[in-house]
Amino acid sequence: MARLAKSNLPQFAVDIFQNEYLAEGAREVNAIVTVTATGGGTSGSVGSQPVNYADGPDAAVVIMVDCSGSMDYPSDKIRAAREATAAAIDAVRDGVAFAVVAGTHEAKEVYPGGGQLAVAHAGSREEAKQSLRRLTPSGGTAIGTWLSKAEQLFHSRRDISIRHGILLTDGRNEHENPNDLQRTLDRVQGHFTADCRGVGTDWEVQELRRISSALLGTVDIVADPAALADDFRAMMENAMGKEVADVALRVWTPANAAVKFVKQVAPTVEDLSGRRKESGPRAGDYPTGSWGDESRDYHVCIEVPSAAVGSEMLAGRISLVVPQPDGSTEVLSQGLVKAVWTDDIAASTKISPQVAHYTGQADLANAIQEGMEAHRRGDLDSATSKLGKAVQLAHESGNEDTFRLLAKVVDVVNPKEGTVRFRKNVSEADSMTLETRSTKTVRVKKTP
Amino acid sequence: MDQLTLSCPNCAQPVSESDRFCEQCGRDLTAAVNPPSGAAPGGPAGHGYSGAAPAAGRASGADGAAEQGQAYRAEEPVGASGHGGGPESGAPGGVPPMPPGPPAVGVDPRAGLGRGVAEASAAPQAPAHVPGATGDFLLAAPSQLLVSEDDLDPEPDHAPTEPNPVVVIAPGSGPVCVGCGAQRIDADGYCEACGRAQPRPRDHQERALAGVTGVSDRGHRHHRNEDAFAVAATSRPGGSPAVVAVVCDGVSSATRPDEASQAAADTASEYLLEALESGADPKPAMHAAIMAAAQRVEDLANEGPLEPSRNSPACTIVSAIAAGGEVTVGWVGDSRAYWFPDDRVGSERLTVDDSWAARMVEAGLMEEAEAYADARAHAITGWLGADAVEVEPHTTVFAPPSAGVVLICTDGLWNYWESAADLGAVVPADARTRPLEAAQELVRFACERGGHDNITVAVLPCLPSPLSTSYTPTELSLPVMGAGEKREI
């Protein structure tokens, strides 16, 4: 196992789950790759261990708070945003570099200012909280400018490897061309990660998901502003747990094979296929962002040239790599995806329980998103059938959280059959919550 | 007396010492005798090709994983100390240096410790290619041979894809992919270009000793060889010779069947040798050896990764001892023993399968043809493994009434010639005098018939027993028919 020079870095383990047996002529190889990082020193409560700052900050955080005019309607939104930001600042570990940005149709540095990041200690945290009084609502929303500002701030401390943003908005990105936002995302992605939160119900799920996906972070709804402080604190604590940045999943495939897709499937579904960067002969890197003590699952699907019964080949070599200061990459751990052609039908028709489970979870996310989209279009039949399928999948796989969210939008008549009826008077918050959290998955139930 | 056989490092085809090219793939075999440049020849490398055992010693041929490459490499000039050196003789100066760890073929670490033993490569854990170990190398093929390798593939998987820009490869510079010719094989044994799994030592193995010979092959339809065998020769306390053969077939539906079969073959063989050398009676020794093998396979269940959807490691076993004019056979499962007299008159099967079909026939519920035509025919009712209900070894003692051979094999062979008469017809007439060739032929015949399963054959030449004045009927200890579990081999 690879070890990095710094202490307290997590150890990565890669486990591959697959049925490597293929029927004659079959070409598609599916595998679930479970990556587990342990021993990063964050297993206990945050901040409980002494930190050595001799090497300077090891992480930087920029909080971007929506200060558009709508945050004043109702005014408890901006109050809650201030409180939440204060709670997040309190959760910043000593020695971590941080800044607060007020976002409108432009981005303003609220703390510390001057294009700099502050280093957290009791005094700077207090100053930062005092400065939050300057978070006053007025103006429009152009999230691209906020992200550009965050990028600038992170750029002032290029020595810090873990760079994370927290972004709060309450509305649509109305004062910016969507193409401009996309260009900004293309430019800043890979430079920092960001978790996004929508407060209230006037923001757009797909828009915010696009941002959080590009920045390898989470997206969630905080329908009630009062819940914002707890959510911000949790988000910041999670960010403080990150120990190693810019980890990539490297997928090597043999000649004449092609990667059909690479998806993160747990804790949430995230298609990484389009994020591939070539990294050598027949190898590509898929970014996974920063890691603390955590475990994530990926579904890798590879198409290989068919071979004769009795043949065995390596269909893929999956490794976790992290860039080194000298420009090289270090392999943290790896696993093998194999293909074996057999005429034993019992062997080749068996579907790996992990692959089956996560295929179902990805279908579940799709069914919800398509169902909600159909509902927006006014196509109630299609929406009902999609959400019916979603109910069935959630029920089968034991995804209780998603099932509960579904049940707030549809009346479940028969979960096994997927028979549902749309509820009358579904609240906007409930349908947005369902859509936002549609990508949350559950892990495979342990087989006895 | 102890005749190790050699195999082509490229395609595993058996080759003889005098061959300059492999008959099957055309690989230039003489390259092997040239030490890598810069190495000084003549050191006591300790490869011990001759592996000459002292006259009263033991020669054992467990088919350890270290054979293909090493058996062939053993042909390298090894200087003065040509045989059976202890580890200390594998001193620096040897060419190439010995990898640390398990001994190479023909080298017994115990040699010279007073026992007079030259045990060949009873080291299944010895990896064929120790990553980074300079002692392990396969020969590089000239470019035109790669073409013939492709031609030879009965069902080419895919066209060679990435032409290797380097066509001329210096001997010893590294292994070459048997699929695409790329000169990059990773430490896991896969080609770094086309991903193809490279031939493994167990894909094809041969051992020939005086009095007993074994050959095992992956066949055409399985991706690995889950059969294993061990052959060994030793002497009884009085000095009379005794030979042992063990053949095991891993249960494919169980986890790690290849490990199970290897462990069982090694354990049973070792147990039998100890017992015979100490003068134990062969029949109880056989029973105990199978029980020891069963325990070893049972222990395997706790030694490796668990696959929740699969059964514990399991295998069949059939074993034969030839000593004192008698042949003692023991078995569990559906691997078989046969007796083939030279004239093939009176050929007979010595074992009764622990299988669904055999039980049906035995219980009088079905005719043999009907039973074997059933889909359940090959489900076995007895095996070695942690989930075996109760291991009940069958043993039988047989005094050969005439000259002939005792043959033990896995179902990869007998599936094609079910009856003793049918199988006897394909066993070469000179099997008793040329047992290695006979075993090779039988394996080849099974491959030609489709090679649907792994194939393992061991041949024990026999002379008429002085104990057998007349024909001795075989005695079989069969279990009571019961509602045992069934599974597919």
- Of B203, B177, B76, which is closest to residue B135 (Cα–Cα)? B76
Q: Is the pLDDT of residue B102 over 60?
A: no
- DSSP codes of every residue in A22-45: E-TT--EEEEEEEEEEE-SS-SS-
Strands B227-235 and B241-249 come out as antiparallel
- pLDDT value at residue A22: 95
How high is the ipTM of this complex? 0.76
Give B-chain residues touching A305 at CB under 8 angstroms: 157-158
CA distance to B202, B246, B271, B459, per residue, from B264 (Å)? 15, 9, 10, 19
Give B-chain residues touching A255 at CB under 8 angstroms: 161-162, 180, 193-195
Summarised one tens digit per residue, pLDDT across range A211-243 is 999 999 999 999 888 899 999 999 999 999 898
Report CB contact under 8 Å: A306, B180.
no
Min distance B253 CA to chain A CA atoms (Å):
8
ω into B100 cis (within 30 of 0): no
Min distance B369 CA to chain A CA atoms (Å):
24
Give A-chain residues touching B196 at CB under 8 angstroms: 254, 307, 311-314
Q: Is the pLDDT of residue B46 over 80?
A: no
Q: Is the pLDDT of residue B23 over 90?
A: no
ω into A74 cis (within 30 of 0): yes
Let me know: does B410 contact B218? Beta carbons within 8 Å: no
Tell me if chain B has a CB within 8 Å of the CB of A342: yes
Q: Is the pLDDT of residue B440 over 90?
A: yes
Q: How far apart are CA A278 and CA A285, in angstroms?
A: 6
- pLDDT value at residue A225: 87
Considering only CB atoms, B194 lies closest to which of A255, A310, A343, namely: A255
* Domains with residue ranges and CATH for chain A: 11-41+245-344 (2.60.40.3670), 59-240 (3.40.50.410), 354-439 (1.20.120.1690)
- pLDDT value at residue A43: 40
In sequence order, what are the beta bridge partners of B485?
none
Q: Is the pLDDT of residue A47 over 50?
A: no
Q: How far apart are CA A314 and CA A334, in angstroms?
A: 13
- pLDDT value at residue B460: 97
Report CB contact under 8 Å: B191, A254.
yes
Average pLDDT over residues A132-155: 94
Q: Search chain B and give the residue with CA nearest A351.
A: B309
Q: Search chain A and give the residue with CA nearest B160.
A: A255
Min distance B219 CA to chain A CA atoms (Å):
8
Summarised one tens digit per residue, pLDDT across range A383-442 is 999 999 999 999 999 999 999 999 999 999 999 999 999 998 889 999 999 999 999 999
Report CB contact under 8 Å: A311, B190.
no
A216 CB-contact burial (10 Å; exposed 0-12 / middle 13-18 / buried 19+): buried
Residue to test with chain A: of B190, B223, B306, most A Cβ within 10 A: B223
Q: Scan residues 92-131 of A and list those with Cβ closer than 8 Å to B.
A: none
Q: What is the pTM of this model?
A: 0.75
Tell me if chain A has a CB within 8 Å of the CB of B188: yes
Give A-chain residues touching B257 at CB under 8 angstroms: none
Tell me if chain A has a CB within 8 Å of the CB of B199: no
Cα B10 to chain centroid distance, Å, stands at 19
- pLDDT value at residue B58: 63
Tell me if chain A has a CB within 8 Å of the CB of B412: no
Average pLDDT over residues B120-141: 37
ω into B44 cis (within 30 of 0): no
Q: Search chain A and give the residue with CA nearest B161.
A: A255
Task: Tell me the two tokens of residue A105.
Answer: 């149709």
Residue to test with chain A: of B150, B157, B251, most A Cβ within 10 A: B157
Let me know: does B287 contact B271? Beta carbons within 8 Å: no
Q: Search chain A and give the residue with CA nearest B157.
A: A307
In sequence order, what are the beta bridge partners of A294?
A37
- pLDDT value at residue B22: 54
Min distance A19 CA to chain B CA atoms (Å):
11
Report CB contact under 8 Å: B223, A344.
no
Q: Is the pLDDT of residue B127 over 70?
A: no
Let me know: does B258 contact B250? Beta carbons within 8 Å: yes
Q: How confident is the model at residue B105 (pLDDT cuts 50, 70, 90)?
A: very low
Alpha-helical regions (H) of B22-168: 67-73, 143-152
- pLDDT value at residue A212: 96
- DSSP codes of every residue in A179-246: HHHHHHHHHHBTTBEEEEEEESS-S-HHHHHHHHHHTT--EEEE-SGGGHHHHHHHHHHHHHT--EEE
B117 C-beta neighbours (distance < 10 Å), count = 20
ω into A267 cis (within 30 of 0): yes
Domain ranges across chain B: 201-462
B408 CB-contact burial (10 Å; exposed 0-12 / middle 13-18 / buried 19+): buried
Which helix (H) or strand (E) segment holds residue A376: the answer is helix A353-377
Q: How confident is the model at residue B237 (pLDDT cuts 50, 70, 90)?
A: very high
- pLDDT value at residue B166: 39
Tell me if chain A has a CB within 8 Å of the CB of B161: yes
Let me know: does A270 contact A362? Beta carbons within 8 Å: no
Interface size A-B, in CB pairs within 8 Å, comes to: 78
Average pLDDT over residues B179-193: 86
CATH topology for the B201-462 domain: Phosphatase 2c; domain 1 (3.60.40)
> Which residue in this structure is represented by tokens 């390298």?
B76
In sequence order, what are the beta bridge partners of B327?
B322, B398
Which stretch of A2-11, A140-149, A302-311, B387-396 has the lowest confidence by average pLDDT?
A2-11
Q: How confident is the model at residue B6 (pLDDT cuts 50, 70, 90)?
A: low
> Residue A4 contacts by C-beta under 8 Å, 6 or more apart in sequence?
A244, A322, A330
- pLDDT value at residue B128: 38
Buried-state track A261-297, b at ≥16 Cβ within 10 A, e below 16: ebbbbbbbbbebeebbeebeebbbbbbbbbbbbbebb
Give A-chain residues touching B155 at CB under 8 angstroms: 308-309
Let me know: does B266 contact B124? Beta carbons within 8 Å: yes
Give B-chain residues touching A353 at CB under 8 angstroms: 309
Tell me if chain A has a CB within 8 Å of the CB of B202: no
Q: Scan residues 37-66 of A and list those with Cβ closer than 8 Å to B.
A: none
Let me know: does A289 contact A217? Beta carbons within 8 Å: yes
